[in-house]
Amino acid sequence: MTMRITCLALGTLLVGATGAFALVPTAEDLAPPDIGFVVDGGDLEAEALAEGSCLDPALAEDAAPGAPASLAASAGAAAATADPQAAAQRPVAFEYSDGYYTRLKVHKIASFATLPLFITQFALGQKLYSGDYGDGTKDAHTAVAIGTATLFGVNTVTGVMNLWEARKDPNKSTKKKVHGILMLAADAGFVATGLLAPGDDGGGDRSAHRAVALTSMGVATVAYLLMLFGN
């Protein structure tokens, strides 16, 4: 009788121990689920990773309509902290006046006359320099010189005014600054060209006049092509 009760008690304890062991969680049970949720189910970062987000601010702005707004904000902040240089390179809005765009339009339209005037003036000047010219060649040369001076006067005024207005633009182009400097140098060269022009009294220096004129044309052409084809 005592042996039977003892065996029954041992059997009960064994069954209870087996059941209790079966209820103990294993390492696999304690591991977080593959989708990335923690115990409280509110981990937004795990949800983002489950949806394939890389926390890139550019991608966060295009997030799915169902994504939480706080997720996009935290994604942008995290990426900006990780790469501050990329955030600093983003263009900043800058507003120009209506006068700026009017001057820019005039400047561009007038610029189309640059190369035709240079080619015409070079051909006329070459005839005068070689002595092979007719009665109207000198007058034509003077007229084209006046046209060139007028063109550069208009473009100098409009260009300088626009450069001054753009001085506070954080996105201002280095190319425009180089263009302006070269054109101002060409302006000075054309003034010197006029001062060196030979007159009817035999004054002036024909060789220096020609050399300075060609140099000024070359500088202005480089500046013109820089804006026309430069990246």
Helix (H, G, I), strand (E, B) or coil at 173: coil
Handedness of CA 92, 98, 102, 103 (dihedral sign): negative
Helix (H, G, I), strand (E, B) or coil at 204: coil
Instruction: For residue range 165-190, list pLDDT tens digits in order.
Output: 998 888 878 899 999 999 999 999 99
Distances (CA, A) of 43 to 35, 38, 40, 80: 11, 6, 8, 21
Instruction: For residue range 121-150, list pLDDT tens digits in order.
Output: 999 999 999 988 888 999 999 999 999 999
| Separation of alpha carbons 216 and 187, rounded Å | 8
Instruction: For residue range 60-115, list pLDDT tens digits in order.
Output: 444 444 445 444 445 555 544 555 565 556 667 788 999 999 999 999 999 999 99
| Separation of alpha carbons 20 and 14, rounded Å | 10
